[in-house]
Amino acid sequence: MLLLLLSLACAPDPNADSGGAAAPADTDWSQPGPWAAGTRSFSVSVAGRDAPIAARAWYPASGVPADTPLPGLVEDDVDAGVLADLLADAPADCPSRSLVVVPDGDPADLAPAPLLVYSHCHDCLGLSGATVAATLASHGFVVVVPDHEGNTVFDALAGEGGALTEAWLAQRAADASATLDAALSGAALPAGLAVNPDQVGALGHSFGAVTTGRLLRDDDRVRAGLAMGAPIDNPLLVGVDAETVTQPVLLLLLEEDNSIGALGNQLIEGNYAALAGPAWLARMPDGGHWSVSDLCGLVEGFMAGCGQGERQTGGAPFTYVSPDAGRSAAASLSAAFFAATLQDQGGARRFLDQPQGGASLIVSSR
């Protein structure tokens, strides 16, 4: 059952601004921020890999955003065609088809921005977190997202997907740290865009949540972490010992996550109780494993969160929260969490107490 779990699987001044691309004090965290979301691709050389991997940066941009098809954000033409075909066959209301962004746009004229690295799900893509990343960019964050090549949906379709092993977890963490290196050096970002090395965070979904735990343990630059749909501390993979994590952490529990099951959600609750530092536990009622993903429903394995399901307790039929609402809620929660923990924004902390917008969320903190 645990293998199944992983397989899918001193109060601040409310108006304080600790520097960086801070959002205004009256920010409505339930909505996209005041900046357009720019995005550009780059590649990263990673220790232990024979060739560079693909990655993408999301950042606050100037210019007029346009509706951009998701396959247009895949650099490899063959893979872009595969994604287009999958989207054409997927349920209409589940995966994202496009995003309103500024591809290769000029960065907004801002102070150095907080930097985040996003780790995607098992046999998935970095674009799984595109809505979250674009929303973060609109609120003044820079988000860099590696594709964990060898552990993507294209690899899985070719019968060459990655495994849920300690070796793959270590490789994923190395991918994420190398991507942070590229951003902090400026190599991954458009000219004129600067990031704040003292405001670095990590987030991820599913196997990416476990990767986030490993980064909290091993990468001293990471000051806060957000994990969606999986525990960061689990019995199968040595991601992290929650009792040693002193950085702020938010765990997003999807209450009808049939991919990790009731046991997986119990482990998330156990992580929350054990974390040594400030902690938040957000629950999404009627949320499935893929309710926060732009690839929800793209393939059969990503259906938990798309349309109809059966409740974990009792097996009664129900309808998952709409993927658009799930993605929106995860994006707003992420933006407020990192604004609160990396920038000490009091308004963001208040939003975390009672988040609004998108799917309903129930949040506890300690």
pLDDT tens per residue, range 100-131: 999 999 999 999 999 999 999 999 999 999 99
Torsions phi, psi for 183 (to 5 deg): -70, -45
CA distance 52 to 43: 6
Give the CATH number, domain containing residue 257. Answer: 3.40.50.1820
Query: Residue 239 — pLDDT band, cuts 50, 70, 90?
Result: low
Q: For the residues 17-25, what does the mean pLDDT come to?
A: 52
Q: Say how many domains are in the chain.
A: 1
Is it the case that residue 7 has pLDDT exceeding 50? no
CA distance 324 to 95: 9
- Is 87 in contact with 97 (CB distance < 8 Å)? yes
> Among 15-29, 185-199, 238-252, which is the least confidently predicted range?
15-29
Query: Residue 357 — pLDDT band, cuts 50, 70, 90?
Result: confident
Range of the domain at 159: 2-365
Q: What is the reported pLDDT for 21?
A: 57
Is it the case that residue 266 has pLDDT exceeding 90? yes
Question: pTM of the entire structure?
Answer: 0.93
pLDDT digits (tens, 9 = 90+) for 39-72: 999 999 999 899 999 999 999 999 899 999 999 9
Q: Which residue reads 């007029």 in tokens?
A: 64
pLDDT digits (tens, 9 = 90+) for 294-337: 999 999 999 999 999 999 888 999 999 999 999 999 999 999 99
Query: Residue 234 — pLDDT band, cuts 50, 70, 90?
Result: confident
